[in-house]
Amino acid sequence: MIATRETVDVSSLPLAPKNPMPMRETMHALRNYHTGFEKLRDAGGPVTRVEMGPRWLFPPMIVVTSPRGGRDMIGRTDAFVDKASVHAELRKLVGGNLFNLPHDEWLPRRRSVQHVFTKQHVREFGGHMAQAAEAICDSWGDGAQIDLDSQCRLLTLRALGRSVLGIDLDARSDQIAGPLQIASSYVADRALRPIRAPGWLPTPARRRARNASKSLHQLAHDILGECRRNPDCDAPLVRALMESSDPETGQPLSDAVICDELLVFMLAGHDTTATTLTYALWQLGQHRHLQDRVRAEVHALGPGAPTPDDVPRLTYTTQVLHEALRLCPPGAVLSREAKRDIEVEGYRIEAGSVLGFGIWAVQRDPALWPDPLTFDPERFRPDRARGIDRYQYLPFGAGPRSCIGDHFAMLEATLALATIIGRCEIGSLTDDFPVSVPFTTVASEPVHALVVKR
């Protein structure tokens, strides 16, 4: 099906309609990856063209906010669409990894590490998640007021360090959280500027970003070095990368490549999972009857913390997480660059155009979801979930470049959420969830909640 669509002559198709929003509003919308893409859709339709200057200075951007458009855009091979300018900026700053490499470099890397994220390996990675969640719960006093966001970040950082990296990251949290935010914000801001300062110019923002990258790489080198020196170091992800090789060439990964990959796993295993947990807990704190249902499911497992073996029985807990990911996806927008003229929902997209698929906009679209802003885990009940279009719900992306760690992320989040709700009752103290999207979706302010021990 994909091959047939890709070989169709698109020369007679019309260009996507130009978005009518004023330039200032358009720029603001593009930088606000979540709500901004909803505004662009409402003004110009599900496939709309944004032009902000001469093509040589700023290539046309195609904003896509429909399932069919998403399938046409990202359900293709990388010969037709590949990583865009934001990924190139990220490569320059932190090195190449599975998230940002162009196809020709990505393919051998993917072959080398894909075995790391088989279900068997993922079960090993998830072993410490419930233990970390128990330790966090034990640190909360009965009746304590907590910031869900900071506590979930501490939880995912601890689990990431102990279960996959083989290092205690509690004391080094400042070496991850701050630098990740600085680096990602710099990349996102630079990618959207039509006129960028040359790479050799030492601007204050670039100095901060490079220092952040240096800090992250130093941490990755420390982790890898400890594993090299200590054969007893329990670091399954690092060990798996050390043992990885291209199945076709037999070439192992260099230490520099391993460190580059560790950086993206730190981001995916810490920042994005923490936001998903925070949002799910906040919603359950708003809807106590849903929280009670999760707790009953967890208690039905019996005493002790949930384990990876219990996850198939945590069906409602998983539904809660899917609904949290629908309303608060880790990546609000997915971007690509057209390598040749292609069709997207009946329009011709010219080679060189940048395409942005609004995941946030699609997953909150009232034309696709009844009462889209209502938190309703029943949407993902197995019999109802079968009716959801593949490109209508894609928090982990889709197509050839979908997230390699999606099973790990869901296992980690499910065990953490089940452990917390099984031991505590969460009461949200804020009516709104504050969101910003410097690169990935994060809470922009503390998310206060009251804890009652169960």
Which contiguous run of DSSP H or E holds residue 24? helix 23-31
DSSP for 172-225, written as a single string? GGGGTHHHHHHHHHHHHHHHT-SS---TTS--HHHHHHHHHHHHHHHHHHHHHH
- How many structural domains is the chain composed of? 1
Three-state SS across 390-417?
A: CCCCCCCCCHHHCCCCHHHHHHHHHHHH
**Helix/strand/coil for 379:** helix
Phi then psi for 271, rounded to 5 degrees?
-65, -55
Interatomic CA distance for residues 127 and 168, integer angstroms: 16
Tokens representing 276 are 């998903």
Interatomic CA distance for residues 255 and 275, integer angstroms: 30
Total residue length of the chain: 454
First to last CA, the chain: 53
pLDDT of 77 = 73
What is each CA distance from 153 to 34, 101, 177, 256, 273, in whole angstroms? 22, 27, 9, 27, 8
Side-chain-facing half-sphere of 82: CA atoms under 13 Å: 16
Closest CA to 223 of 236, 245, 238, 241: 238
- Structural domain range at position 185: 2-453
Q: Which long-range contacts (CB under 8 A, 24 or more apart) does 442-448 make?
A: 442/149, 442/181, 442/271, 442/275, 443/148, 443/149, 443/275, 443/278, 443/279, 446/147, 446/149, 446/150, 447/147, 447/148, 447/149, 447/278, 447/282, 448/145, 448/146, 448/147, 448/148
pLDDT of 1 = 40
The CATH number linked to 161 is 1.10.630.10
Handedness of CA 99, 104, 105, 106 (dihedral sign): positive
pLDDT of 367 = 95
419-446 b/e with 16+ CB inside 10 Å = b? bbbbbbbbbbeeeebebebbbbbbbeee
The pTM assigned to this predicted structure is 0.90
Interatomic CA distance for residues 284 and 292, integer angstroms: 9
Closest CA to 126 of 213, 200, 241, 237: 237
Cβ count within 10 A of residue 118: 11
Task: Give the β-pairing of 342-344 and 347-349.
Answer: antiparallel
What is each CA distance from 5 to 10, 72, 149, 395, in whole angstroms? 10, 8, 44, 25
Which contiguous run of DSSP H or E holds residue 50? strand 47-50
pLDDT of 392 = 96
In tens digits, the chain (454 residues) has pLDDT values of 444 455 568 889 999 999 999 988 998 888 888 899 999 999 999 999 999 877 777 889 999 999 999 999 998 877 788 887 777 877 888 888 888 888 888 888 888 877 777 777 777 666 677 888 888 899 999 999 999 999 998 888 887 776 666 666 766 666 676 777 787 777 777 766 655 666 656 788 788 888 888 888 888 888 888 888 888 877 777 887 888 887 778 888 889 888 888 887 777 667 788 999 999 999 999 999 999 999 999 999 998 889 888 999 999 999 999 999 999 998 899 989 999 999 999 999 999 999 999 999 999 999 999 999 999 999 999 999 999 999 999 998 888 788 877 888 888 899 999 999 999 999 999 999 999 887 788 899 999 999 999 8
pLDDT of 79 = 75
Instruction: Give CA angle at 299 (293, 304), nearest 5°.
Output: 145
pLDDT of 3 = 41
Interatomic CA distance for residues 210 and 199, integer angstroms: 11
Interatomic CA distance for residues 82 and 100, integer angstroms: 10
